[in-house]
Structure 1
Amino acid sequence: MTQPRLDFVQCLDPHGLHRMAYWEWGDPSNGRVLVCVHGLSRQGRDFDVLAQAMCDHYRVVCPDVVGRGRSDWLDDPMGYQIPTYVADMVTLLARVRAQTVDWVGTSMGGLIGLGLASLKGSPVRSLVLNDVGPTIEPAALARIGTYLGQLPRFETVEAAADYFLSISEGFGTHTREQWLALTRPMLRRIEDERGVAYIPHYDPKIAVPFHAATPEMAAAAQALLWQRYDSLRTRTLVIRGAQSDLLTAQTARAMAERGPRAKVVEFEGVGHAPTLVDPAQVAVVREFLTTA
């Protein structure tokens, strides 16, 4: 398998600068840029399979959102919110000299894309929202909250893969090798008095603003997200896991009828969220983006 190039970009926050890592596939001189952004506690290597399938057509850029993967951790955990991430992506697009960009965002990555695409003068041309929309179900947030911010210790990569599988049943069916490939970049190797071990590769403080959210804040955020969605004039594809507890069929139907009138594709046997590893999922994304 071809390996991506790892690079970093300096981004501004209220307390100084932080580095955001990004993984790049394909010809670095290609003016067609595809940005793929991961979910809440994941990282950019989630898109290895999709990036390899798209890098004949695009220069594919897969950032580790700040606080995840190879990126820095923020001094103030309350900075782990969508406005920070959107600002970082603006900096990233300037760094890679993207005049226009297509966007694939899974869960949180979709909300970042929605925020960027709704800005005046946005460079986003086509938007793929992977199992996320303006209405996010409280039950799904409660489920995510049961594990977010915990840093369990694993003696082996295989044990870590078993743990991630236990909290990611919605990802759907994968071979063991596919699951290990999704797991390895999620881990940070440590060595201490107890020996060598592995822990999740993210700042546990990303959970601070997540757990600080109140029902009133959630309602206000939902209203703002629908306002942003309704303002979109971007070609939009919504991918939904048919068993998703985060993006309901009702919300997906509303997204097809409002704003950019998104095309909606559902995948059976998958919840939150499709990993875009399965060839059928990859094919849907590729067809949508390359037949603009």
Structure 2
Amino acid sequence: MESRFYTSRDGLRLHARDYVPLDAAHEHNLPVICLHGLSRNARDFDILAKHLASHHRTPRRVIAFDYRGRGQSQYDKKWSNYNVLTEAEDVVSGLNALGIEHGIFIGTSRGGLITFVLAGMKPTALKGVILNDIGPVIDGAGLMQIRSYLQHAPRPKTWGEAIEAQKKIMGKSFPALTDDDWRFEVESRYSQKDGILSADYDPRLADTMKGLNAGDRLPTAWPQFMGLRHLPMLVIRGENSNILSKQTLDEMTDVHPAISHIGVEGQGHAPMVHTAGLDDAIAQFCASV
């Protein structure tokens, strides 16, 4: 893995993790572009990316982006720029900077919404799509939970405290996670500088959800989803998801002619893409595109 930095259209220094296989055969295989959730970062895909890049049959390049204000990307002084459209534009800038014309896109939660936008913004870039616990209809209860987390995020002093805090918040929805999974969760979520742990995103990200209320009728993205009907698609849904409902998943499968889906037991929003055999399933899907 190597860190790649590039400049957004408005001058921010943005970051992506670039996993390039040692096997030259990868040049014939479509690269994978990984897009994380709202307050997450590119490290969420580290184990999956290494699995795909070193696959014994179909090694492929993997790019995992840090959106502005997350991970190693520069924070934006204007928090209103933390929106799906701007972040999609940043991904396009990153693809151009890294010389990637097209690939298979994996979108976790917000990353899936960005993928919807990319389908209209740069349709030739998408050759296959994996949606991780996201669809054209978002469950409002799950969104309110995300808002609450951003507004009252824990501030652990040690890695041990961080693990216990995440277990307290997520444990009921993620009973399937092992000790190693919980450690990966917090090491992906937090960064440490001068011995101090902090969530690896701009705290002002919470401002983007200030106007959200429990009774709000949320917009849907069915037109954008329908723009992906010509592409092979894999949908992953956590058994305990409060973002992607079973009803929405059923409706997605009814209207998409080339869709398959996987249910992940003992996990909620959003399943870890390297657990429960998902890494092999994703590799198999990519090989079929």
Q: TM-score, normalized by length of structure 2? A: 0.89
Deviations 1:131-179 (A, max 9, x none): 0001001110111111114454322112112222333333552222232
Consecutive unaligned residues of structure 2, counting only runs of 5 or more, are none
Deviations 1:12-46 (A, max 9, x none): 23xxx111111111238854311111111111111
Contact 2:231 2:258 (C-alpha < 8 Å) held by counterparts: no
Q: Pick from 25, 31, 34 the counterpart of residue 33 of structure 1.
A: 31
Instruction: Tell me if 1:18 matches 2:12.
Output: yes
Contact 1:50 1:277 (C-alpha < 8 Å) held by counterparts: yes
Contact 2:144 2:213 (C-alpha < 8 Å) held by counterparts: no
Consecutive unaligned residues of structure 1, counting only runs of 5 or more, are none
Aligned residue in 1 for 2:207: 208
Structure 1: how far apart are the matches of 2:262 and 2:166?
26
AA of the residue aligned to 2:187: R
Q: CA RMSD in A?
A: 2.1
Contact 1:67 1:203 (C-alpha < 8 Å) held by counterparts: yes
Structure 1: how far apart are the matches of 2:133 and 2:85?
20
Contact 1:102 1:127 (C-alpha < 8 Å) held by counterparts: yes
AA of the residue aligned to 2:140: P
Q: Pick from 161, 167, 170 the counterpart of residue 168 of structure 1.
A: 170
DSSP 3-state at the match of 2:279: helix
Contact 1:187 1:200 (C-alpha < 8 Å) held by counterparts: yes
The percentage of counterpart residues that share the same residue type is 29
AA of the residue aligned to 2:51: A
Aligned residue in 2 for 1:6: 3
Residues paired across the two proteins, number: 279
Contact 1:45 1:182 (C-alpha < 8 Å) held by counterparts: no
Question: How do 1:51-70 residues align onto structure 2 when only pairs under 5 Å count?
Answer: 51-56=49-54, 57-70=59-72
DSSP 3-state at the match of 2:149: coil
Name which of structure 1's ranges 274-283 and 99-108 shifts more when overlaid on structure 2: 274-283
Question: How do 1:49-88 residues align onto structure 2 when only pairs under 5 Å count?
Answer: 49-56=47-54, 57-88=59-90
Contact 1:149 1:206 (C-alpha < 8 Å) held by counterparts: no
Contact 2:67 2:87 (C-alpha < 8 Å) held by counterparts: yes
AA of the residue aligned to 2:225: Y
- The alpha-carbon distance between structure 1 residues 88 and 216, as it changes in their structure 2 partners (threshold 3 A), is farther
Contact 2:15 2:72 (C-alpha < 8 Å) held by counterparts: yes
AA of the residue aligned to 1:55: A
Deviation at 1:189, TM superposition (A): 2.5
